[in-house]
Amino acid sequence: MDSIVSLITQPLVLELLITLVKIGFILGLTIGFFAPMLAWVERKQSAIMQDRVGANRAGVFGITVIGLLHSLADAIKLIFKEDFIPRGAERGLHTLAPVIAIIPSLVVFAVIPFGGQYTLWGHEVNLVIADLDVGLLYVFAIGSLATYGVVIAGWSSNNNWSLLGGLRASAQMFSYEVTMGLTVIGLVMFYQSLSLVDIVAKQENFWHWGIIWHFPAFVLFLGCAVAENKRVPFDAPEAEAELVAGYFTEYSGMKFVMFWTAEFLEMVSISGMCVALFLGGHHIPFVTQKFLLTAFGDLLGQDIGAVVVMLIGVGVFITKLVILLVLQMTIRWTMPRFRYDQIMKLGWKMILPLSLCWIFLVGVGILTGVMPRP
Amino acid sequence: MREEDKERGYDFHKASHTETMTINMGPSHPATHGTVKFFLTLDGETIEDIDVEIGYLHRAFEKECEAQKWNGVFPYTDRLDYTASVLNNVGYAMAAEKLIGIEVPERCKYLRTMISEMARMSGHYTNVGAGALELGALTAFIYFIEARELLWDLIESICGARLTHNYVRIGGLTNDLPDGFRENVKRVFAKNRKLWDDFDIMLTKNRIFLDRMRDTGGISQKDAIAWGFTGPCLRAAGVPYDVRRAQPYLMYDRMNFDIPVGSTGDNFDRYLVRMEEIKQSMSIVEQCLEQMPEGPINVDDARWRMPSKDDSSTKMEPLIFHFKQIIEGQSIPAGEAYQAVEGANGELGFYLVSNGGGKPWKCRVRPPSFALTSALPLLVKGSMLADLIPTFDMINLIGGECDR
Amino acid sequence: MSEEKNSGQGGVSDVMARAKAVLGPMGVLIHTHCQHGDDTLVVQAEDILKVMEFLREDKSLRFDMMMDLTAVDYLGAEEMHPYLKPMKARFEVVYHLYSIEKNHRIRVKVPLTEESPFVDSITGIWVGADWFEREAWDLYGVVFRGHPNLKRILLYEEFEGHPLRKDYGKMKRQPLIGPVN
């Protein structure tokens, strides 16, 4: 017993344990909570918008929990579905593609801070899995890998519709990768950091939030984010009425679920980015972390107070995330879809020049002192 | 540029090592819902060539009609344009009545006018809603489906069926209006107008929708006429031809309604024309209810109408008539007649030939969407694959009607 | 040329008068009638293009739209029209024309014999006749000479026979489907 305690209290092991807990939390939050919940929210929200009842059938002994069990039922159904690989498909790549699609959207979470830094029982706890100096670059580098999953899926299925979907996806995702990168350049100039932890820390004061100073960039970024996730109105790669289901036409069972989960996870991760960059991460407007720590520290003691503040921070982060997710879903249930060439035009001829303009304006603003850097 | 290249003997495809892709779109494809197959030749996303193959819903309508008694044809006509089935009933009944040379009572005419317009609304709701759906706007689609459901509740209260109404008979109708119908119409139309407004707000000025619909699938006035376009698609091209106005039948000469006309003939104009027609149809239904006189709904001639159920089960003569009509059919005098009505998709013509027997010798229906679909290659060649979807929707191929 | 009086309505419509005035002397009309107010011209198969071109181009007729094209099989009912028996005709191709400009209609019919069910295609005059002619070929076996793409449209290529002919039994089975269920 003593040996275990002494092992745990080893600084290195403790560090490792804390990281594992954080990874577990993030995985649980995204795969275990957000993916099924989003599926449910998507159904329920669309039902409310469309004057319908929505999912309310699946239940255990008549208990339906307002349709919440549908996600469970879906999961059970899909796990037991036949995993079908069409004849002539490139078997290896066909199996690999959904994995390539889902991994980047999970790995991106490593650098997104879902809380601040806290001192608990003498240990520094930083609520981010990896505090990289080049966090933003990491996000874009990993994010662009997701494109491969989609393209490989489209190509390896040996189906013309899939191929067209893969083509559309590759063109669209690469284009919006570029534009999305450019929309945040202004922020990097403003906060003078590529680390998401730094950027969040600098937004402690509400008047330094990204959305206050970079509202145009926020709008452009959100547009790019929706396009990057291939959701309506940018869902040309999987346009149901045109390409059957686009690049995942030939997928079934768990592989289909992986694509489907990847879409939700991308939504969550990009919304997380958005919260970190523009909406002040875990910060509450007009309330500093210091104030909270002192207030709760006085009330509950230093360490317990810090835990409470940490939980509040995570709660605030998730709340902001959910608001962004609901916004994206509202867009999804309101808009028709773009045509493929219109998407490209919007990306290259509208959003790209606008984001370049914004970079220029931010530069001018910083140089002239109109935009005081935090 | 390409023409010049050709003259120089330079083949772009060869030089860039690309080739066209042939692909089957349908019959099992979400956009063609089992009713049609497009054989596409694609250059990237551009449609180089398209071959339209129909007939997947062919169920020998004419052959079947020739084996049925005159009144037995009605259920088959229901299944032509099943989104607006009463219109087909009315067209067929009017053609048969023209062949006989009888005129139905005024109340019957009003009722037929009214239910025709309800059917038109239902057809347009389905078409415009499905068009929105296939562009990805599911919510708008559900709004119109809700409106259609409410409308079907009304129709159901009249004739007991929601989709295939089988409401009209030669020389009359099966039922009169139920009690409380007017109040129901008022309630349903108020809700329908609200749903129409919601739909309008969501799509008509939506930039994405506009970009998808405008300048796609356009056709000139001249071409539209040459290809035999009728109905909303012809009117969208700027030709104000509407059978209801050009050759008024039933009570349309007493109705006050506008005929919306487009200018460019593209998908957006087709959409706008249909949207406006829904409103006009609502107003026609209300006018019908206002003007409708009391009176009989069947002709006062035992040869041409089914005796009522009460009579045929209690009296001798009606029983005999009923028996003879069911077993032998009505002996419609020999001859031929063509009667056109304005269907939801355009001119719906019935050409009947009778040899004096109890069955039609020939029962031809002129399906409006048949002519419209035949022009599809003209509308989409050279445009993008994605443009095929709104064009095909606004053409409104109804498999039941086109393939018969 | 024979003529049947209008049933019910007295007088001859302007369309009919004009058509008869021009087509009559050309000797292409077999018969005319106006049953139930539908003006009808019956013409020889070989003259169909001439007649159609006239109907479309004539200033006072202007039939710019081909509304409908179908065929009728009069097997065993040839007495229904007086001209069918003498011509030994079995089929009739029926055209319904409409003029948007003048708002009037006309029906043109072409009797055809069983041995030579040939008629010239009118796709050169109205492009929209394309599918209608294919349908008439498909269901009645009427051959439209000069049609750019005369193949089956509603039925499949392997279908044998033409199902709307009166001698095609309603319950007849096709070889691809097999004799009985």
Which pLDDT does position B4 carry in this prediction? 67
Tell me whether strands C104-113 and C40-43 are parallel, antiparallel or unpaired: parallel
pLDDT interval class at A82 (50, 70, 90): confident
Which pLDDT does position B190 carry in this prediction? 92
Residues of C in contact with B375 (CB under 8 A): 128
Neighbors of chain C with 3 or more C-beta pairs under 8 Å: B
How many Å apart are CA B152 and CA B118, to the nearest integer?
A: 9
How many Å apart are CA B238 and CA B223, to the nearest integer?
A: 12
Does this model's pTM top 0.90?
Answer: no
Residues of B in contact with C70 (CB under 8 A): 351, 364
Which pLDDT does position C2 carry in this prediction? 52
Q: Is C36 within 8 Å of B340 when comparing Cβ atoms?
A: no
State the nearest Cα–Cα gap between A26 and chain B, in angstroms. 32
Task: Compute the average pLDDT of residues B309-324.
Answer: 84
How many Å apart are CA B61 and CA B77, to the nearest integer?
A: 8
Mean residue pLDDT of chain B comes to 87
Q: Which residue has better confidence, A124 or B42?
A: B42
How many Å apart are CA C37 and CA C15, to the nearest integer?
A: 12
Cα distances from C90 to residues B272, C2, C115, C152, in angstroms, run 47, 19, 9, 21
C26-54: pLDDT as tens digits: 778 888 888 888 888 888 888 888 888 88
C-beta neighbour count of B177 within 10 angstroms = 19
Most confident of A11-20, A296-305, A355-364: A355-364
How many Å apart are CA A48 and CA C128, to the nearest integer?
A: 46
How many Å apart are CA B30 and CA B141, to the nearest integer?
A: 15
Q: Which residue has the tokens 């009947």?
A: B352
Which pLDDT does position C6 carry in this prediction? 44
Among the listed residues B117, B283, B274, B270, the one whose alpha carbon sits nearest the alpha carbon of residue B193: B283
Q: Which residues is A44 bridged to in the sheet? A: none
How many Å apart are CA A320 and CA C22, to the nearest integer?
A: 82
Confidence check: pLDDT of C180 > 80: no
**Residue C154 DSSP SS3:** coil
Q: CA triplet B167, B171, B175: central angle to 5 degrees?
A: 35
Which pLDDT does position C11 carry in this prediction? 60
pLDDT interval class at A188 (50, 70, 90): confident
Confidence check: pLDDT of A240 > 80: no
Which pLDDT does position A190 carry in this prediction? 86
B332-350: pLDDT as tens digits: 888 889 999 998 888 899 9
Q: Is B387 within 8 Å of A46 when comparing Cβ atoms?
A: no
Q: Is B336 within 8 Å of C35 when comparing Cβ atoms?
A: yes
Residue ranges with strand state E in chain A: 117-120, 123-126
Residues of A in contact with B27 (CB under 8 A): none
B357-401: pLDDT as tens digits: 888 888 999 989 898 988 888 888 888 888 888 898 888 888 888
Which distant-in-sequence residues (6+ apart) come within 8 Å of A264 by Cβ?
A: A34, A35, A38, A39
C-beta neighbour count of C6 within 10 angstroms = 16
How many Å apart are CA B212 and CA B214, to the nearest integer?
A: 6
Mean residue pLDDT of chain C comes to 83
State the nearest Cα–Cα gap between C164 and chain B, in angstroms. 6
Q: Is B336 within 8 Å of C96 when comparing Cβ atoms?
A: no
Which residues 169-228 in chain B show a CB within 8 A of chain A?
A: 202-203, 206, 208-209, 211-212
Confidence check: pLDDT of B326 > 50: yes
Q: Which residue has the tokens 């609502």?
A: B282
Interface pTM (ipTM) of the complex? Answer: 0.88
C57-95: pLDDT as tens digits: 888 888 888 889 999 988 888 888 888 888 888 888 999
In B79-134, alpha helices (H): 85-100, 106-134
**Interface with C, mutate which of B37, B57, B100, B227 (most C CBs under 10 A):** B227
pLDDT interval class at B273 (50, 70, 90): very high
B199-210: pLDDT as tens digits: 898 888 888 888
Q: Half-sphere exposure (CA, 13 Å, Cβ side) for A35? A: 21
Q: Is B142 within 8 Å of A335 when comparing Cβ atoms?
A: no
> How many contacts, defined by CB atoms under 8 Å, are there between B and C?
97
Residues of B in contact with C163 (CB under 8 A): 60, 63
Confidence check: pLDDT of A116 > 50: yes
* Virtual torsion, Cα B227, B233, B239, B245, nearest 10 deg: 110
Confidence check: pLDDT of C9 > 60: no
Which pLDDT does position B12 carry in this prediction? 66
Task: Compute the average pLDDT of residues A38-48.
Answer: 83
Which pLDDT does position C4 carry in this prediction? 52
Confidence check: pLDDT of A266 > 80: yes
B100-159: pLDDT as tens digits: 888 888 889 999 999 999 999 999 999 999 888 888 888 888 899 999 999 999 999 988
pLDDT interval class at B33 (50, 70, 90): confident
Q: Which residues of A touch B (CB under 8 A)?
A: 46, 49-52, 160-161, 164, 232-233, 235-236, 239-242, 244, 333-342
Which distant-in-sequence residues (6+ apart) come within 8 Å of A236 by Cβ?
A: A168, A172, A230, A242, A246, A337, A338, A339, A340, A343, B386
The partner residue sitting opposite C94, judged by closest CB among B54, B229, B351, is B351
Q: Is C80 within 8 Å of B361 when comparing Cβ atoms?
A: yes
State the nearest Cα–Cα gap between B94 and chain C, in angstroms. 12
Burial zone of A326 (CB within 10 Å; 0-12 exposed, 13-18 middle, 19+ buried)? middle
State the nearest Cα–Cα gap between B117 and chain A, in angstroms. 26
Do B and A touch, 3+ Cβ pairs within 8 Å? The answer is: yes
The partner residue sitting opposite C154, judged by closest CB among B58, B349, B362, is B58
State the nearest Cα–Cα gap between B146 and chain A, in angstroms. 9
Q: Is B98 within 8 Å of C156 when comparing Cβ atoms?
A: no
Q: Which residue has the tokens 């356009």?
A: B218
Confidence check: pLDDT of B91 > 70: yes
Neighbors of chain A with 3 or more C-beta pairs under 8 Å: B
pLDDT interval class at A1 (50, 70, 90): low
C125-162: pLDDT as tens digits: 888 888 999 999 988 989 988 888 888 888 888 888 88
Task: Compute the average pLDDT of residues A202-222.
Answer: 84
The partner residue sitting opposite B351, judged by closest CB among C68, C126, C164, is C68
Which pLDDT does position A105 carry in this prediction? 82
Task: Compute the average pLDDT of residues A42-60.
Answer: 81
Confidence check: pLDDT of B312 > 50: yes
Confidence check: pLDDT of B76 > 50: yes
DSSP letters, A104-164, are HHHHGGGG--SS-EEEETTEEEESSS---TTHHHHHHHHHHHHHHHHHHHHHHTT-HHHHH
